[in-house]
Amino acid sequence: MTTGKRACIFGASGGVGRALVEALAASGEYARIYACSRAGSPFSAPSVVALAFDLTDQASIAGVAAEIASEGALDLVIVATGILHRPGAIGPEKSASALDPEVMAEVFALNTIGPALIGKHLLPLLSRHGAVFAVLSARVGSIEDNRLGGWHSYRASKAALNMLVHNFAIETARRNPLAVIVALHPGTVATSLSEPFQRNVAHGALQSPSQSAGHLLTVIGGLTPGESGGFYAWNGEAIPF
C-alpha cells in the first residue's frame, strides 16, 4: 500500500538515478515517482511517470515543474545529474595549465547551473509537512577536505553547488521551516561517471548503484530540519564545506 507520497528524481537514466527510482518504487511508500531524464526513459513500475527534460534549458525544467505542480506537492526531490568526464573532450585537470574555458563552462553548466535551476523551479513545490530536496555532490568539492588539488573544474563546480544548497536551505527555511535541503556524497559508484578512476578505489569501497541508492535513501530518511543546509556522505558522515 502506498502512502500517497510523491517523489521526483532528476537524472533518472544514470546509474544512481535509475537505482533511486527503482528503490523508491519497490518501497511501496510513493504513489507517484517522476523519473526525469533527457530522453524520458520509461520504467515498468506503475507508480513511475517518465518525463523528459534538458538540464541546460531553463524552459524545459520549468515545463517539468509545471507538469508536476498540477498534481500537487512533492515530498522528495533528488538531483542525480552531473558530469566528470567525456572521452576525448572533458576530463579532470591535473594542473592549472590544463584549464580550458569552454570545458569549465560546460562542467559548471551541468554540475552547478542546471541543479540550481532545478532548485529554482522545484523548491516551491516541496510539501509544507516535511520534505527533502537533495543534490548529489562529491567529497572532492569540499574546500576544507581538499589535500591533493587538481580536478579544478569538477571540484569548483561541486563546491559552488554546495554553496547554493546552503543558500537554498537558509532561504527555504523562512517559508517552509520543515523542509530539508542538503548535498549528498554518494561515494564511488560503479557507473560510467567513475569508470576511468575505479582502479584507484580501495578494495571493497566501490559500491553498486543499488547499494549507493540504498545508503542515500537511508541518510535522507534520517535527516531533520536542523540538518538542512549540510553536506553528508553516503554513510551519514557530515562533510565540511
DSSP code for 47: T
pLDDT (average), residues 50-71: 97
pLDDT of 1? 43
Q: How confident is the model at residue 202 (pLDDT cuts 50, 70, 90)?
A: low
Q: What is the pLDDT of residues 214-233, one digit of tens each?
A: 999 999 999 999 999 999 99
Q: How confident is the model at residue 191 (pLDDT cuts 50, 70, 90)?
A: confident
Residue 43 burial (10 A CB sphere; 0-12, 13-18, 19+): middle
Domain assignment present for residue 178? The answer is yes
Domain assignment present for residue 213? The answer is yes
Query: Which is higher by pLDDT, 207 or 57?
Result: 57
Query: Would you tell me how many other CB atoms lie within 10 Å of the CB of residue 94?
Result: 11
Residue pair 139/145 in contact by the 8 Å Cβ criterion: yes
CA max distance for the chain: 57
pLDDT of 140 strictly over 90 = yes
Residue pair 75/131 in contact by the 8 Å Cβ criterion: yes
pLDDT of 162 strictly over 70 = yes
Domain interval for residue 50: 5-233
CATH number, position 217: 3.40.50.720
Domain assignment present for residue 170? The answer is yes
Domain assignment present for residue 241? The answer is no
Backbone torsions φ then ψ of 201, nearest 5 degrees: -80, 135
Domain assignment present for residue 113? The answer is yes
Q: What is the pLDDT of residues 82-125, one digit of tens each?
A: 999 998 889 999 999 999 999 999 999 999 999 999 999 999 99
pLDDT (average), residues 127-149: 96
Q: Three-state SS string across 162-181, please?
A: HHHHHHHHHHHHHHCCCCEE
β-pairing, 76-79 vs 180-185, is unpaired
Domain assignment present for residue 240? The answer is no
pLDDT of 196? 61
Task: Look over the chain and give the mean of its residue pLDDT values, rounded to a whole number.
Answer: 94
- Phi/psi region, residue 229 (left: phi>0; alpha: psi -120 to 50; beta: rest), is left
Find cell 527533502 and name the residue.
132
Would you mind telling me the total number of residues written for the chain in this entry? 241
Query: Which is higher by pLDDT, 201 or 57?
Result: 57
In 3D, which of 150, 151, 181, 168 has the Cα closest to residue 76? 181
pLDDT of 199? 60
Residue 51 burial (10 A CB sphere; 0-12, 13-18, 19+): middle
pLDDT of 149? 95
- Residues of the chain above pLDDT 90, percent: 89
Backbone torsions φ then ψ of 165, nearest 5 degrees: -60, -45
Q: What is the pLDDT of residues 19-37, one digit of tens each?
A: 999 999 999 999 999 999 9
Domain assignment present for residue 238? The answer is no
Backbone torsions φ then ψ of 169, nearest 5 degrees: -65, -45
pLDDT of 194? 56
